[in-house]
């Protein structure tokens, strides 16, 4: 098991408020991991916010219970890892999983392509009504 140098998390309803709350957690994460270069902070934080925003905008509940978002962000000696999960969520539509950059006139649809450009690996898991994005960036 790799040593975790710093960790932050968030769990709450999948709403607009979650986005700024997660962003605040990311900002405070670097207080405990000042050795992480600015470029890595910037790219990783952008990818995490894109993944969280994708959930808030697109995740639909599987039953009556509303979708909840859960984020676990950790800094390891040479790697940043984020698990961004949607609980009580349906499986995403194929259209929402589009990872190629749309044309320059498009006003949406760049999120996943941007995530792929920002991090080293992107993994998607679905288990028991939970969709999880695992983003890693080697530093």
Partner 1 sequence: MQFSYEVKDSYAEVKSVGRLNMVAAPKLREVVAEVVAAGSSRVVVNLAETDFMDSSGLGALIGCLKAARQAGGDLRIAAVQPQVKMVLELTNMDRVLTAYATAEDAFGDD
Query: Would you tell me which residues interact with partner 1 (CB under 8 A)?
Result: 16, 19-20, 23, 38, 42-43, 45-46, 49-50, 53, 56-57, 101, 104-108, 110-111, 113-114, 117-118
**Rounded to the nearest whole angstrom, what is the least distance from the CB of residue 57 to partner 1 in the complex?**
6
Q: Which is nearer to partner 1, 43 or 132 (CB)?
A: 43
The residues facing 9 across adjacent strands are 72
**Rounded to the nearest whole angstrom, what is the least distance from the CB of residue 19 to partner 1 in the complex?**
6
Pairwise CA distance, residues 85 & 121, whole Å: 16
Q: Which is nearer to partner 1, 20 or 64 (CB)?
A: 20
**Rounded to the nearest whole angstrom, what is the least distance from the CB of residue 1 to partner 1 in the complex?**
32
Continuous H helices in the chain: 16-29, 38-58, 111-118
**Rounded to the nearest whole angstrom, what is the least distance from the CB of residue 112 to partner 1 in the complex?**
9
Pairwise CA distance, residues 49 & 99, whole Å: 16
What b-and-e string marks burial along 74-111, b requiring 16 or more CB atoms within 10 Å of the CB? bbbeeebbbbbbbbbbbebeeeeeeeeeeeeeeeeebb
Q: Which is nearer to partner 1, 49 or 89 (CB)?
A: 49
């Amino acid at each position: 098991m790799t040593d975790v140098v710093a960790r932050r998390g968030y769990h709450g309803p999948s709403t607009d408020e979650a986005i700024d709350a997660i962003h605040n957690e990311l900002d405070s994460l670097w207080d405990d991991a000042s050795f992480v270069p600015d470029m890595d902070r910037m790219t990783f934080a952008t990818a995490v916010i894109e993944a969280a925003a994708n959930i808030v905008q697109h995740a639909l509940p599987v039953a009556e219970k509303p979708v909840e978002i859960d984020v676990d962000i950790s800094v390891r000696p040479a790697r940043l890892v984020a698990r961004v999960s949607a609980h009580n969520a349906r499986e995403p539509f194929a259209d929402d999983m589009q990872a190629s950059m749309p044309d320059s006139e498009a006003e949406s649809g760049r999120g996943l392509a941007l995530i792929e450009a920002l991090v080293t690996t992107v993994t998607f898991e679905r288990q028991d009504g939970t969709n999880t994005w695992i983003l890693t960036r080697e530093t």
